[in-house]
Structure 1
């Protein structure tokens, strides 16, 4: 038992908060015993764990508002949680806080095939939306690798993408409206079901805000027609740099594939025994390029992409000949993260975004970092939009390997910023990248972010100490981190 949980004052606080929540929720919707709250101690970033004081599982919007009212009255921090598949620690609890899970808000309110929209509660799984829309020949386009488990509420919080985000966009491009409960208990609607909404575009501000501005209770998403045909090219390359350059060549040719993904040989070889996707294991890198649309459109685009890829140096090209084979090609890419467990006790998944023209440069830099830190890295990513997902492989049982993996990851993100990119594409900042925010943003920019948060959450109770670092934290980070002999943000105040 931790020192905190053994503290009598803490135990009394836990009992008081749980009792207050039981007054507004059914008893089975309040968890306060350690054995019941333990499953909520982390999200997909399992290196960091903290059991919450209490877990609340409201069953409808009015109960969400009631939970927030209790927490506001008692001055208790609230950490919103979806399915817990996030990879940046955004849903990691606070020791003296409440985790508010939206898992029980899991109803598909309606599917409108004429407006091509679906109205769903935040606990609805991403894939379940497409399953509900399938009888109408429609589907929901954003498809994170965790789509069988992740929920739309979490997708909204992190602005999730997926392998088809190049053509169809991220969550922010596919959500029309969100119904939100603020920390003050107000229910507000952001956006609308029309093509435009009056006033400032607060919906775009809310999407990707990592639970720091409010709790979403209902979402209206766009649905798109399921393509008549879809086929995938698997292109092999003798080296990673040539493969990376081929990505830019495809886009420069005026082709926007439905998906354009890249995997290096380490990734392919760890995935193939896991799912038997049919990957070329002799290739240093493979590209998966998908075309979708009518039969004529797909045949034309496949031919054009194949020509560009051959001209860019592809050593072999294979094209899916059936829907089964197409799904098998994608299954390898979507199972890259769990497959990492076959070759390493632990992995640390990074998430940075760079201009496509810098792919080769950044991949070469990552290769140098492997030598610097003495750790392997499997590269698998959304190449079409420059969203990298390096998997740093390490063994947490070795005393210093987690620290080396974290330093490796921080260097990757710093390189992303240096080439004109950003420290995240779809996983969010959470606690994982909060120091890297100090590398990317200036003090005035961070102050502006805090101003937006204060406008929504003046008491700073919603997911505090996540995503936006204080200037004090950045000053301390600047003191500790010297890159190439240069102290970043030397102008930051020293406290």
Structure 2
């Protein structure tokens, strides 16, 4: 056994330091299953001091290290690219403090997203960000990815609900960023803003102060079914244009509806619809009936096949069950799923979806769409069999085309899933060399030794080398030689 493994076992014991291959198989990937790589070791700390100890052991042995929460990330963020130490924070799951009057809580990073809301729901409070994986994903992972969710259209991303963090920096030292007073105090550089969404490349949060929200007085949840995706997207545009601000605007296409209705997530969605639109309104009861009537009027104006409004909490839960379980239902289509995360302007949803469908057909792939329509955050899902190397290559190629399309439409390669290793080869679709140089300088300021979650988010500074990685990645999947790079100026 090497000295690095011995040091981990001495500090954490055999129960919380995993160094055998069979112990680490569960850590070889996250939800982005195309890229798999075993860690060198895994540790399971329970306190800030233990996270510091793990980082310092890694530094002493020049071993790269990275944090991991529940592993629900969809971009390869917690998957090692080199023989690395994975620092799993799932055992750090205590709610440390709740201030009901100040509307904030301090939690450890392993607290599950929905568990926090359940912890405070008796006080009529909640934690607003609600990723589809909220029954499993952790607050630490949400912070690292700047996660969103269906209700972020009205309530914002994780960055809008994080007030502070205690962070173990890449050199093993501690830094306290922000605090319960929020961004207005103290007046200093917004390092918390820089840290949020940095995907574990700037350090590891061990305590997180989050903003809590009061429960709204009332809810109205409506489901409209439409004969075309164009009609469903038209409703979204008109709802926003009329000044309504729903808590959520979610669309599922026909293929997703069929998969959901054939699964344990069955919600009673009309299976003859080309698309369904789930609209949730919240606020004071006095105004909700009028708002719901206006939404129904817009539904009818776009030729809705059917309109359904939740009659009670159980009915609402059923309508949401299909949306929340949509990704899980995709398992009925093929063994593996590649979930993309592009963003386009809301007014260009229809033409973007039309092109995405064409890309799927061109590459002979099973492709579905379920997405946050209110803010144009698309989630094209490509179902495939990872054992088929040719199909895997086609999946990667289609994903690249879809992300390039989103940028061409005036959007982004990611809305809430992060860059990780999945999109690192696409980063230059959005940013030039000067932009990347500034970002690399910020990274070096936090992590001068380059050992904290390396090879994530930011591509290398050598443009020609990075531009050749895409065909090389496809070639690796095919176990073939990469094609020769095209000559150019």
TM-score (norm 2): 0.93
Q: Which residue of 2 aligns with 1:151?
A: 138
- Distance, in Å, in 1 between the alignment partners of 2:102 and 2:74 is 34
Q: Which residue of 1 aligns with 2:69?
A: 82
Report deviation, 1:361: 1.1
- Distance, in Å, in 2 between the alignment partners of 1:220 and 1:158 is 16
Residue 386 of structure 2 corresponds to residue 399 of structure 1: no
Q: Which residue of 1 aligns with 2:197?
A: 208
Structure 1 regions of 5+ residues with no counterpart? Answer: 1-11, 482-486
Alignment of 1:319-468 (within 5 A): 319-468=309-458
Output one character per residue of 1:24-69: Cα deviation in whole Å (capped at 9) or x when no partner: 3344221101111121111111222111111111111011111111
Report deviation, 1:480: 6.1
Residue 111 of structure 2 corresponds to residue 121 of structure 1: no
Alignment of 1:101-112 (within 5 A): 101-112=88-99
The SS at the match of 1:28 is coil
Say whether the 8 Å CA contact 1:17–1:54 is kept in structure 2. Answer: no
Q: Which residue of 2 aligns with 1:168?
A: 155
Say whether the 8 Å CA contact 1:277–1:329 is kept in structure 2. Answer: yes
Residue 23 of structure 2 corresponds to residue 65 of structure 1: no
Say whether the 8 Å CA contact 2:235–2:299 is kept in structure 1. Answer: yes
Q: Residues 348, 71 of structure 1: CA spacing in aligned structure 2 closer, same or farther, 3 A cutoff?
A: same
The SS at the match of 1:410 is helix
- Distance, in Å, in 1 between the alignment partners of 2:108 and 2:23 is 24
Residue 22 of structure 2 corresponds to residue 32 of structure 1: no
Residue 228 of structure 2, aligned match among 234, 239, 242: 239
Report deviation, 1:295: 2.1
The SS at the match of 1:360 is helix
The SS at the match of 2:406 is helix
Report deviation, 1:473: 5.9
The SS at the match of 1:400 is helix
Output one character per residue of 1:211-236: Cα deviation in whole Å (capped at 9) or x when no partner: 00010000111111112321211111
Structure 2 regions of 5+ residues with no counterpart? Answer: 472-484
Q: Give RMSD over aligned pairs.
A: 1.8
- Distance, in Å, in 2 between the alignment partners of 1:399 and 1:42 is 18
The SS at the match of 1:270 is helix
Say whether the 8 Å CA contact 1:79–1:94 is kept in structure 2. Answer: no
Report deviation, 1:111: 1.5
- Distance, in Å, in 2 between the alignment partners of 1:202 and 1:452 is 11
Say whether the 8 Å CA contact 1:160–1:171 is kept in structure 2. Answer: yes
The SS at the match of 1:353 is coil
Output one character per residue of 1:178-197: Cα deviation in whole Å (capped at 9) or x when no partner: 11010112211112211423
Alignment of 1:89-104 (within 5 A): 89-104=76-91
The SS at the match of 2:328 is helix
